[in-house]
């Protein structure tokens, strides 16, 4: 605004009235108030921005903490994994050693099992036929490990002990433990095989069967007797015929 002379200022002052001056004053106050409001709004926005920055900083700090925690867990996991790997290596080494020991024991036990089987048969065989005297069988002939050959002379099985007289033949299967019904089922199949391909001693004779064991489980004994077999059990240095139920009838094959 160009500078006015004194005369121009005096002339301009004549044009002013109280109302105009007051209106100008009020307008100026309004503009100052609007400016204050805008400054206050700007301050509020700055404060909100500061708050958001502070919240962002807090989140960054929380993220840093989580990353640090994750790094710590990864480090612990790596340490634990290393320990597990070491234990697995030691366990593998131990298993390898045990496997070698088992192989050595198995190699030794092979002959022991055969000897044990022969021992059980030897304990059962003497005077075994006499155990059936109450049935008037008179089984005085005893044969051990009798092979079963088919018509082509192929070996199909073996009878542990074969007892006979002139009319009856009894095939006795020897077990260390009679603890599974499947053992009875196997002897049933053996009896069928003997009937199909009878050894010389069994030809033309009535064929019956028995199972003898060092230890006899009651439920398997019952199953064997239901299948028509006599059951015997080793007692000390002797063997005894377990008394079958009154309804028992030996099966003839």
Read off the pLDDT of residues 30-39 as tens digits, 9 standing for 90 and up.
Answer: 777 777 787 7
Task: Look at residue 253 and give its three-state secondary structure.
Answer: coil
In this structure, what DSSP letter does residue 136 have?
T
Evaluate whether residue 253 is within a structural domain: no
> Residues 63, 33: one domain?
yes
| Residues 116 and 215 placed together within one structural domain of the fold | no
**Residue 250 pLDDT:** 94
Asked if 174 contacts 121 with a C-beta cutoff of 8 angstroms, the reply is yes
4 and 108 together in one domain: yes
- In degrees, rounded to 5, the angle at the alpha carbon of residue 171 between the alpha carbons of residues 166 and 210 is 115
**Is the same domain home to 160 and 71?**
no
Number of H helices, E strands in the chain: 4, 6
Contact 193, 156 (CB under 8 A): yes
- Residue 168 has a pLDDT of 95
The pLDDT of residue 104 is 57
Please identify, among 124, 147, 177, the residue that sits at the C-terminal boundary of a domain.
124
Residue 19 CA to residue 140 CA, distance in Å, equals 154
Q: Which of 225, 227, 226, 228 is nearest to 242 (CA)?
A: 225
Average pLDDT over residues 195-215: 94
The predicted pLDDT at position 112 comes to 47
Pair (3, 19) in one structural domain: yes
Same domain for 137 and 222? yes
Q: Is residue 102 one of the residues assigned to a domain?
A: yes
Mark whether 107 and 162 lie in a shared domain. no
One domain, residues 68 and 83: yes
Whether the pLDDT of residue 242 is over 80: the answer is yes
Range of the structural domain that residue 117 is part of = 1-124
Task: Count CB atoms within 10 A of the CB of residue 89.
Answer: 10
Q: 170 and 79, same structural domain?
A: no
Tell me: do 77 and 190 sit in the same domain.
no
Residues 51 and 138 in one domain: no
Q: Which residues contact 35 (CB under 8 A, 6 or more apart)?
A: none
More confident residue, 237 or 96: 237
Whether 215 contacts 179, CB under 8 Å: yes
How many domains are contained in the chain? Answer: 2
| CATH number of the domain to which 172 belongs | 3.40.1350.10
Residue 49 lies in a domain: yes
Do residues 118 and 111 lie in contact, with contact meaning Cβ atoms separated by under 8 Å? Answer: no
Residue 176 has a pLDDT of: 87
On whether both 19 and 8 belong to a single domain, the answer is yes
Where do the DSSP E strands lie in the chain? 141-149, 155-164, 168-178, 206-216, 230-235, 238-241
């Amino acid at each position: 605004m160009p500078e006015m002379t004194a005369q121009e200022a005096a002339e301009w002052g004549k044009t002013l009235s109280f109302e105009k001056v007051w209106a100008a004053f009020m307008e100026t106050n309004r503009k100052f108030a609007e400016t204050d409001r805008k400054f206050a709004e700007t301050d509020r926005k700055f404060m909100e921005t500061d708050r958001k920055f502070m919240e962002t900083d807090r989140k960054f700090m929380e993220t840093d903490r989580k990353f640090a925690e994750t790094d710590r867990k990864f480090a612990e996991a790596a340490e634990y994994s290393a320990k597990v790997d070491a234990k697995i290596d030691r366990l593998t080494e131990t298993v390898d050693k045990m496997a070698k020991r088992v192989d050595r024991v198995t190699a030794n036990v092979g002959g022991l099992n055969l000897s044990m089987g022969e021992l059980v048969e030897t304990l059962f065989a003497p005077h075994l036929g006499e155990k059936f005297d109450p049935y008037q069988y008179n089984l005085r002939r005893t044969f051990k490990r009798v092979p079963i050959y088919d018509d082509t002379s192929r070996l199909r099985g073996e009878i542990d002990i074969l007892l006979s007289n002139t009319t009856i033949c009894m095939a006795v299967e020897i077990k260390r433990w009679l603890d599974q019904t499947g053992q009875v089922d196997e002897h049933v199949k053996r009896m069928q095989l003997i009937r199909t391909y009878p050894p010389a001693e069994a030809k033309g004779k009535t064929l019956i069967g028995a199972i003898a064991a060092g230890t006899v489980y009651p439920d398997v004994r019952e199953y064997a007797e239901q299948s028509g077999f006599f059951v015997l059990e080793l007692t000390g240095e002797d063997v005894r015929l377990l008394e079958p139920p009154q309804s028992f009838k030996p099966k003839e094959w």
